[in-house]
Structure 1
Amino acid sequence: MAIVLGPHRYGKAETRLVHVTRDGDTHELIDLNVSIALSGDLTATHFTGDNSAVLPTDTMKNTVYAFAREHGVGQPEAFALRLGRHFVAGLPQIVTARVGIEAYGWERLGPHSFRRKGDFTRLCTVTVGADSAQVVSGLKDFVVLNTTASEFHGFARDRYTTLPETTDRILATEVDARWRHLSDTADWGESFEEAKDALVNAFVNTYSYSLQQTLFSMGTRVLESRPEIAEIRLALPNKHHYLVDLSPFDLENPGEVFLAGDRPYGLIEGTVTRDNPAVGPSADPEWYR
């Protein structure tokens, strides 16, 4: 039985970049975490240790900083596209470059003063090939909660089921959403903000009988409002809130005092896509990661 090398890639992970644009007394701040992975004809280094086709990962780190200085940064998607195209065009042995970016938000306090925002992390992953580029945007760590308008009942049971049915519960989740664009050109800032707003509006305005129903509603709202998006993948952990039993203290608890559970938790995942052949398959089967 032959032993062969399977899919592989290498790169520089989590290069931290903070870029300050100095426009007189008013400064702009961009804070990124950039990860680069290259794949192509790299078998020699695996089989024999021949590194002649291997661009050092330290060079990838340096490229991030040099590009920030020479070309600026701008929207994460645009910066990732520039980096990915640079590596594919400049290295004949490289077939695909994958650039993932986490963007951290800062709130302005003054002309040159800022406060770190921690309500979510913006994401993008760009996959660049010789003749194509795929852009995925998204967010994570985005916690939302409804104190009512959520039920869960009529579920399947077996002999290990103890969960009681409910017609009124807290529904909370920490949204991890990734959406694939139809092309590599868009107003990335507007597209991101509008997609985020669509997720929020769907969560707020959906009377939920299951978190799965809420997931589909959120994905549908994004696709209906943003024609440039081909599909969206959502991972929604159910952040359970348990009604505290206050009867030992002769107190009633009419849905006011809860224990926020940590783990274990339910995890609901799904992809909502357009039923349209023009959308086409993803160039990167792991685009949602």
Structure 2
Amino acid sequence: MSVKLGPNRYGKAETRLVRVVRDGPVHHLKDLNVSTSLSGDMEAAHLTGDNAAVLPTDTQKNTAYALAARHGVGQIEEFALLLARHFVESQPTIHHARVQIEEFAWNRRGPHSFVRDGSEVRTCVVHHDADGRATVVSGLTDLVVLNSAGSEFHGYLVDEYTTLRPTDDRILATSVTARWRHTGTAVSSYGTSYDEVRRSLLEAFADTHSLSLQQTLYAMGERALTACPEICEVRLTLPNRHHFPVDLSPFGLDNDNEVFHVADRPYGLIEGAVLREDAPDAGFAWE
């Protein structure tokens, strides 16, 4: 039997990094979860145990801390690009770097007092390789939204196993995971772009009279692409958080779509991408 080494990478996962900027009595906080993955001339490490080409994962962790101290942490996309470029440009055996960052939001309650924001998490994934190619994918997770009206579901396939009843009045709820690909890396403000995409996603969810969650997904992606010329593709994952009306007839009560049981599983999972017709090839952007 003949075998060979396939694609591989290694790195440091979930380095927790908090950066405090002390502007006199007023402090500013950045709270990150940083994961790095490197690939390159790693055949010997796998085949013979020769680690001469390997930059230790502990070094990758330390690099995140050192660059945060030296350069600060602004927009997470910019910090991820800084890290990725550092690894590729400083180590000849490293040909490709992937940096993923999650940012946890804190709300100010005083000059140096904060409370953790329990809403969505901002994300990014950056790739940079030895040929100078780079991609930036921004995103968010756990953005929980709900429409208590304006949602229907009917006209679907029916077979001998179908028990779901058609409805023209249902609750539509989901926890949005969205990722959007920037056309390039020369973005004037990743923060402004993030705010605009988020606003577009929320407005489209609220404005769309939904006949399916798939229709809503497309409307959300289309709205974001229309509002943000700097992005070329949006990928959305929308779990359907089912709300089922409770049968109150055993108690002699009517239920006019007012009392619901929320089922956490199983759940419908709707996924899809919306992209410009002239969008450049994604390459390794989503990996």
The TM-score bracket by the shorter chain reads: over 0.9
**Deviation sequence 1:157-185 (CA, Å, 0-9, x none):** 11100000000000000000000000012
The structure 2 residue matched to 1:262, chosen from 247, 261, 264, is 264
Structure 1 runs, 4 residues or longer, greater than 3 Å off = none
- 1:62-211 alignment, distance < 5 Å: 62-130=62-130, 131-186=132-187, 187-211=189-213
Percent of pairs with identical residues = 59
- Gap runs ≥5 in structure 1: none
Paired letter, 2:113: S
- Paired residue secondary structure (1:11): strand
Match of 1:275 in 2: 277
Q: Equivalent residue for 2:238?
A: 236
1:157 alignment partner AA:
V
**How far 1:280 moved relative to its partner?**
1.3
Gaps of 5+ in 2: none
Matched residue of 2:274: which SS?
A: strand
Question: d(CA) in 1 for partners of 2:118 and 2:63?
Answer: 28
Q: CA deviation at 1:195?
A: 0.3
- TM, length-normalised to structure 2: 0.98
C-alpha deviation, 1:283, in angstroms: 2.6
Q: Any idea what SS the aligned residue of 2:27 has?
A: strand
1:132-189 deviations in Å (ceiling 9; x for gaps): 1100000001100000100000000111000000000000000000000000121100
Give the CA RMSD over aligned residues.
Answer: 0.8
How far apart, in 2, do the equivalents of 1:275 and 1:74 lie?
32
Are positions 1:55 and 2:21 aligned together? no
User: Aligned-pair distance for 1:2?
Assistant: 1.7
Cα distance in 2 for partners of 1:137, 1:158 equals 41
Paired residue for 1:226? 228
- SS of the residue aligned with 1:58? helix
Residue 194 of structure 1: CA displacement?
0.5
Q: Aligned AA for 2:20? A: V
Q: Aligned AA for 1:143?
A: V
2:34 equivalent in structure 1: 34
Letter in 1 for 2:171: I
Query: Is 1:5 matched with 2:1?
Result: no
Per-residue CA deviations over 1:80-136 (Å, capped at 9, x if unaligned) read 000000000011111110000000000000100000001100000000112111000
- More displaced, 23-32 or 129-138? 129-138
Distance 2:243 2:112 in 1: 41
Superposed CA offset, 1:18-50 (max 9, x none): 010000000000000000000111000000000
For 1:107, the aligned partner's letter is N
TM-score w.r.t. the length of structure 1 is 0.97
| SS of match in other structure, 1:190 | helix
CA distance in 2, matches of 1:92, 1:274: 36
Work out the number of aligned pairs and report it: 285
Give the SS at the match of 2:125: strand
Q: 1-side partners of 2:117 and 2:4: how far apart?
A: 47
Aligned-partner SS, 1:99: strand
- Aligned equivalents of 2:186, 2:62: Cα separation in 1: 26
SS of 1:156's equivalent in the other structure is: coil
